[in-house]
Structure 1
Amino acid sequence: MESGKKDDVQKGAQNSVKDYFKIGDMFSYFFRVFKKTPEGQPKPNINLRMMHGINKISILMFLAGMIYMVIKHAF
């Protein structure tokens, strides 16, 4: 059990600043969430659909805020 803790500490020590600014996972989630479910697959339950809906709203609001900040500081 202690060896698992040591591995976690070592993995954390190997992270660089570049690892903290990876945004590939966010973009893959962004495109996955906005895709329709293919026919033949069951729709997720209402709780999961609501969670993804709230995430869509928060992603769009974040992007709108970032665009606003860029425009505000540029002009």
Structure 2
Amino acid sequence: MNGKNLFDFGPAFGYFFRKHDPNRKTNFNLKTMHFINKLSMAMFLVCLLVMLFRYVL
């Protein structure tokens, strides 16, 4: 594993901005799981920015 792959955030951003696939069946549990995953990633990024902002100031 090299350092270039360590900071490859393409799949994470793709998870946030992908299109709805009409061929894939969804149910309430799957929708809830994806919502919780997106919410937790967004909260992590916000907290990371807050910590970085506090460290700089």
Deviation at 1:20, TM superposition (A): 2.2
Question: Does residue 68 of structure 1 match 2:50?
Answer: yes
Q: Which residue identity lines up with residue 50 of structure 2 in the other structure?
A: Y
Deviation at 1:25, TM superposition (A): 0.7
Structure with higher RCO (Cα < 8 A, 6+ apart)? 2
Match of 2:29 in 1: 47
Q: In structure 1, which of residues 26, 30, 36 is the aligned counterpart of residue 12 of structure 2?
A: 26
* Structure 1 runs (4+) greater than 4 angstroms displaced: none
RMSD (Å) for aligned C-alpha atoms: 2.0
Aligned equivalents of 2:16, 2:29: Cα separation in 1:
18
Structure with greater helix percent: 1
Alignment gaps of 5+ in structure 1? 1-14
Structure with higher Rg: it is 1
Task: Give the number of equivalent residue pairs.
Answer: 56
Alignment gaps of 5+ in structure 2? none
> Cα deviations across residues 33-63 of structure 1 (Å, max 9, x unaligned)?
xx6x48xx37611111011110121011111
